[in-house]
Amino acid sequence: MPRNKINPATIAEPLRKSTRNKVEVPQNNVKDERDTEESHNLFIKQEPVESLLDTTPPKFSEFKYEKKTHVKIEYEKESQESPKKEDGGLWEPPNWRDFLLNLRNMRANKDAPVDTMGCHKAMDEEASPQVMRYQSLLALMLSSQTKDQVTFAAMERLKARGCTVDNILQLSDEELGKLIYPVGFWKTKVKYIKKTTQTLKEQYNGDIPDSVEKLCKLTGVGPKMAHICMQVAWNKTTGIGVDTHVHRISNRIGWVKKPTATPEDTRKALESWLPFDLWSEVNHLMVGFGQTICQPISPICNECLNNDICPSRGIGRKSPNKSPKKTPSKQEPKHESDDDFDMKIDNKLNIPKKAPKRKITPAKTILNDKIETNVEKVKLNKSPKIKENIVKIEDPIKVETKKVTQRKGIPKKVTPQETAASCELENQLLPDSTKTTSKRKPQKNK
């Protein structure tokens, strides 16, 4: 063998020996080697040069400063929500318990119209509960802006005709209007009753809903009606029914923290502080109190037991025709004329005023006017031919009388005074032999 060449068998022998004497490597070291291999195989992403050289202006909206939300702490919540808690039930009107006791004493006799003719008395007690509930809802719909006496009379007529869902739907609008007249806004209430009755038959099988939300969805039904209906029909207290009486009296006696403009605002204000146990009797007490003593126009404060503690005491009776006094408007000073100045001086000196001159209109006599004109002509002419002028005087009289008789309608008669005046003028002009008397003889027709 040449010197530079190596025998492959000599190299293979030590390799075989090394394979026989293998050394076991721990598994932990194997995992470390794999991790190192993976770390060497990381790929580095390189962006193109064009993206780095992009010259578009940056968007400043990304760098806009945004205000951070305020983090509320427990003591801050209590301090901020403290006035809301006052509105929720901490505020109470002064002496309201005494006022309520006096109100119950004044209403003990039950002499108000609502006690005998309210919606709870308008139902037919012999009818089924379903029909009674429908009648209570119908009475409340009729009672809006109507006195209890008128509502009760209308319900009596409806019950005599048959106040059920089916019977009301069979009635025409004219017949239903005659039955409920003279209820306030009876024409619109006829439409509301028909629509509400139809929805009750289709959706509730002839019965009324059992919640305030569903009742308010009916046409012609508001929150006041819904709360009272829940109490009367279903015997459930869901809220205070506030009508005109409760709204007026609550503001008068100071049972609201601030003056309210609508009955719904009054309801929320009363429910915010009044205990829940008293909600059911407030409406009935205040309505009767408003009908008898605390009336809208002329309250009888002398008979009220709360006269000492009422903030509106002393209102007394006021005539409804009196209007509030208006403040005098600033008027511009008027410049006096000379006539006004003279009148003032005459009044001070007690000079009697001159009576105004009357315009005298001449009497309109046809004959006298024509005779006077002819007489003037005779005086001016002074001609010896007097007879011709006389004929001219007589001719217009005859012509005038003929014309008058030929007119349609009632002919104009010559009065005896006119004839006497004409005779006197003729006698002055004519000689004595030819003078005529006032009594003329009628000429015979040839």
Query: Which tokens go with 380?
Result: 């001016």
In the chain, the largest separation of any two C-alpha atoms, in whole Å, equals 216
Angle CA(8)–CA(12)–CA(18) in degrees, nearest 5?
160
- Distance between CA atoms of 443 and 446, rounded to whole angstroms? 9
Phi-psi bin for 382: left (phi > 0), alpha (psi -120 to 50), beta? Answer: left
- With CA atoms as reference, report the closest residue to 259 among 382, 93, 97: 93
DSSP state, 364? -
Side chain identity at residue 37, one-letter code: E
C-alpha separations of 143 from 81, 84, 211, 224, 238 in Å: 41, 36, 20, 11, 20
- Distance between CA atoms of 86 and 272, rounded to whole angstroms? 9
Side chain identity at residue 34, one-letter code: R
CB 249 within 8 A of CB 282: no
- Tally of helices (H runs) and strands (E runs) in the chain: 21, 0
Q: Which of 64, 85, 189, 224 is catalytic?
A: 224
DSSP state, 362? P
Q: Which residues of 186-222 are buried (b: 16+ CB within 10 A; e: fewer)?
A: beebbebbbebbeebeeebeebbbeebeebeebebbb
Query: Which tokens go with 173?
Result: 């609008």
- Distance between CA atoms of 313 and 302, rounded to whole angstroms? 9
Residue recorded with tokens 């409920």: 180
Q: Is the dihedral of CA 143, 147, 148, 150 positive or negative?
A: negative
Instruction: Give the 3-state DSSP-derived string for 78-110, with helices as H, strands as E and coil as C.
Output: HHHCHHHHHHHHHCCCCCHHHHHHHHHHHCCCC
Tell me whether residue 344 is one of the annotated catalytic residues: no
Residues classed as catalytic: 224
